[in-house]
Chains A and B, each alone.
Chain A
Amino acid sequence: MQAARAARQMAEHLGFGRAQAYHVATAASELTANMAVHAGGGTLHLQPLTDNDGSIIGLEMRAEDQGPGIPDLDLAMTEGYSTARRLGCGLPGASRLMDEFSISSTFGQGTRIRAIKWCRHRPVDRS
């Protein structure tokens, strides 16, 4: 919840719209909860992304844990799949809330997730 609040404050501070700020906050909450449940905790880093000229272009979120790792990433990203008694939409849900989402996991060493929300008011070519 604190992660969600921090993420929302940062997003609003960076000039994101309210809906986007809520998306970022919910994704942060989703990733933190995921780490707490599956890895016994972890860290969530939030940082603004800037252009060469220093203007804000997005917000980056990195979730890192030293948990058991995710054996099958495709499965973990599948809608409705969960090893804990959950909805199974945490990771896929968080990825839909963010613009970029990448996940890497080493079995027995932990999981790293990097997600980005781009600022909408500034056209970013992402093709």
Chain B
Amino acid sequence: MKKIPILRLGRILLVSIQEDLTDNEAMQFQSDLVNKVAEIEALGVAVDITALDVVDSYMARVINDTASMVRLLGAEVVICGIQPYVAMTLIEMGRDLIGADCAFNLDQGLEMLRERIAHRGDIRFTGDGDE
């Protein structure tokens, strides 16, 4: 079973989905990520899907659900690197397959997360790194 590495950058987590996931892998990934977010009280999560060139409705659901779960815990989420043809296909397939915020690439995604986190205005959230 593939395991998606979750990288930590201060209180931001980075994940990169490189391949299609099976049902079990997707569930494992979601629970790993959600637990990690809760464990370190992550402020933001960037999910990079630059490497995915086919995103079917199942993968779209996995990505979207994961984003919603992370948001429920209180972290910001941004999906990075959706390929142009993937975007065209997703919209052709149906509206609102991906409802999370998106960025061109990881770089802009991280920038977006930092801005959001700063915007929250809570003094606990303004630290960039570990407490």
Which A residues fall within an 8 A CB radius of B? 1, 4-5, 8, 18-19, 22-23, 25-26, 29-30, 33, 79, 86-87, 89-90, 92-94, 96-97
Interface flags, B22-65, vs A, CB<8A=1, else 0: 00000000000000000000000000000001111110110000
The answer to whether B56 touches A26, judged by C-beta atoms less than 8 angstroms apart, is yes
Q: Is the CB of A22 within 8 A of B97?
A: no
Complex Cα distance, B85 from A90, in Å, reads 18
**Number of CB contacts from chain A to chain B under 8 A:** 66
B interface, by DSSP: helix, strand, loop or mixed?
helix
A5 (CB) vs chain B CBs: closest residue: B54
A-chain residues with CB within 8 Å of residue B60 when the two chains form the complex: 87
B53 to chain A: which residues have CB within 8 Å? Answer: 8, 22, 25
Residues of B within 8 A of A30 (CB): 56-57, 93
- Listed by A's residue number, 13 A-B pairs whose Cβ atoms lie within 8 Å are A4-B20, A22-B54, A22-B85, A23-B92, A26-B56, A30-B56, A33-B56, A87-B94, A89-B57, A92-B94, A96-B94, A97-B92, A97-B93
Distance in Å from the Cβ of B117 to the closest Cβ of chain A?
30
**Within the complex, what minimum Cβ distance (angstroms) separates A40 from chain B?**
13
Tell me if A's interface is mostly helix, strand, loop or mixed. Answer: helix
A25 touches B54 (CB 8 A): yes
A1-B19 CB under 8 A given contacts A26-B89, A89-B94: yes
CB distance from B49 to the nearest CB of A (A): 14
On whether the beta carbons of B94 and A19 are closer than 8 Å, the reply is no
A95: nearest residue on chain B (CB-CB)? B93
Residue of A nearest to B61 (CB): A87
